[in-house]
Structure 1
Amino acid sequence: MTHTQDRVLVLVPAWNEGRNVGITVREIRAASEDFDVVVIDDGSTDETAQVARDAGAVVLSLPFNLGVGGAMRTGYTYAARHGYVRAIQVDADGQHDPADIWSVLAGLEDADISIGARFAEVGAYTVRGPRWWAMLVLARVVSRISKTRLTDVTSGFRAANRRAIEQYVSYYPAEYLGDTVDSLVAAVHAGLTVIQVPVAMRPRVHGTPSQHPIGAAVYLFRSAFALLLAVMRNPGRRSEPKVSAT
């Protein structure tokens, strides 16, 4: 298939999401005929890959679990090699509403990266305790770095234009929170711009996210560590990303 500039690549990282990924893929495909769906099967041990194929997605299967960062770098490499100029991440668990994809993509008219943001006066998504404080601190620090008000820098619901796709191919860390905070800070230091678009998040269809107190405390400390690494890695790194011809 020859991919034209009016098509959008929807990247769906998935690890053991066999109960959710089929529904997500079908919802994305129903949202627009302009969406091409690629599921990155991140070393799943369940039927994730087959379910995604049956739902109509192209599946890239990794031999073992790399984490969201590794999966997304694989997806962006696919996007660059196939000439896409717009790509957007949608999580497999059903929390990102495919009906909001066009709204998030619209942010690319004014920036290189568009984040579908929680905590932006839309929806009823709430977080409490240490996790909330960690997310608040992350948002404020990254807002200062990007010179843009951001409320949700850990959201995976984000779109990238051609420049951002090339940046992500060049640098997209695999470690915890690197796929969101570190990759975003690196992109800003490389000269890319970012904007946020308010969206409402949905609850997971199947499975239970970890929200217990110990998990929240761990999230707090790991968030601080991830932010420190992101800031230390990138000072002064403002060279323009190279963009290959399509």
Structure 2
Amino acid sequence: MNTLKKKNVLVIIPAYNEEKNIVKVVENLVHEYPQYDYVVINDGSKDSTSNICHDKGYQIIDLAVNLGLAGAFQTGLKYAYMKGYDHAIQFDADGQHLANYIESLYNKQKEGYDIVIGSRFTTKRKPKTFRMLGSSMISFAMRVTTGNKITDPTSGMRMFNKKMIREFALNLNYGPEPDTISYLLKNGATIAEVQVEMEERMEGQSYLSLGRSIVYMVRMLTSILIIQNFRKRNG
């Protein structure tokens, strides 16, 4: 029996130049998981992402310029906040996230957690790659500064409860990144992880090249270890 109300969960799909993937992602949600609402946040795409979504009649919000993942996701959470959703989940537009795991995150969140992360590594070991080395370093930094073990801090599959939706929607400097998760942990947010599987990107290439991955890792470590100590939280 379906345990989810139609208007209870919003799937937020930030999309930048995802014309090759967006139809498969949205159609899968619409036809296989109609119990979830969704919204595509077109982050100033330069390709046909927006036109495709409008032609298909998808629920979409178009951003005039590219704000990046943080701006696109916060737009989605502002929408969730204004519409009164109880739960919102960040969901990749490239096909890596699998919708069959949404209910597992939902059920875990109903135990009382503010944020639930879809983790690839709660029961599996991380592969020995450069990117996973960066993930392990971020996990270590978060454990040192918060006392909490997060096995997959860079996972983009995260569900937020109503309290977190409000907090992200009303704060200007909240991005869906490990440093914000670390900051919220230090300020009393409760976070859990659920084991999930993820696919490789269906089409196109990730914006995270080797160089960008290194910059990202350094930025996250600096933020978690230093900058978060000076960050102020709005209620």
Question: Normalising by structure 2, what TM-score?
Answer: 0.86
Deviation at 1:207, TM superposition (A): 1.2
Mapping of residues 207-218 of structure 1, within 5 Å: 207-209=204-206, 213-218=210-215
**Contact 1:94 1:205 (C-alpha < 8 Å) held by counterparts:** yes
Deviations for 1:39-95, whole angstroms, at most 9, x for unmatched residues?
000001111123234445311111100000000111100001011011111010000
Distance 1:12 1:199, change over 3 A: same
Equivalence for 1:244:
none
Q: Using a 3 Å threshold, how does the CA distance of structure 1 residues 127 and 218 change in structure 2: closer, same or farther?
A: farther
Q: Which deviates further from its counterpart, 64-73 or 103-112? A: 103-112
**Could you tell me how far 1:205 is from its partner in structure 2?**
0.5
Contact kept, 8 Å, 1:107 with 1:113, in 2: the verdict is no
Range moving further from structure 2, 198-207 or 163-172: 163-172
In the alignment, structure 1 segments of 5+ residues that lack a partner are 242-246
Aligned length: 230
CA RMSD of aligned residues (A): 2.5
Tell me the CA shift for residue 229 of structure 1: 5.3
Shift in Å, 1:213: 4.6
Deviations 1:119-169 (A, max 9, x none): 2225x984612x322211211232354543211111110001101101111
* Residue 20 (structure 2) pairs with residue 19 (structure 1): yes
Q: Is the 8 A contact 1:145 1:188 kept in 2?
A: no
Alignment partners' CA distance in 1, 2:45 and 2:74: 17
Find the aligned partners of 2:147 and 2:140 in 1 and give their Cα distance: 10
What per-residue deviation string (whole Å, max 9, x for no partner) do you get for residues 190-236 of structure 1? 4321101111110111012367654443343233233245523447x
Contact 1:143 1:149 in 2 (8 A): yes
Other structure's SS at 1:148 match:
coil
For residue 205 of structure 1, the aligned residue among 196, 202, 205 is 202
- Matches of 1:39 and 1:230, distance apart in 2: 32
Give 5+ residue unaligned stretches, structure 2.
none
Distance (whole Å) between structure 2 residues aligned to residue 207 and residue 127 of structure 1: 24
- Is the counterpart of residue 221 in structure 1 residue 218 in structure 2? yes
Partner of 1:112: 114
The residue type equivalent to 1:66 in the other structure is L
CA distance in 1, matches of 2:47, 2:158: 26
Q: SS of the residue aligned with 2:177?
A: helix
Structure 1 segment 39-50 matched on structure 2, within 5 A:
39-50=40-51
Which residue number in structure 2 is paired with residue 136 of structure 1? 136
Tell me which moved more, 188-197 or 64-73: 188-197
CA contact (8 A) 1:116 1:199 kept: yes
Residue identity over aligned pairs, in percent, reads 31
Aligned counterparts of 1:97 and 1:125: Cα–Cα separation in 2? 19
Give the drift of 1:8: 1.1
Distance 1:120 1:55, change over 3 A: farther
Give the Cα–Cα distance (whole angstroms) in 1 for the partners of residues 97 and 76 of structure 2.
18
Structure 2 CA distance for aligned equivalents of residues 61 and 151 of structure 1: 34
Q: Residues of 2 paired with 1:152 and 1:163: CA distance?
A: 23
> Bigger shift: 152-161 or 163-172?
163-172
Confirm or deny: 8 A CA contact 1:5 1:85 kept in the other structure.
no
Q: Is the 8 A contact 2:145 2:224 kept in 1?
A: no
Change (3 A) 1:93 1:148: same
Q: Classify the secondary structure of the residue corresponding to 1:179.
A: coil
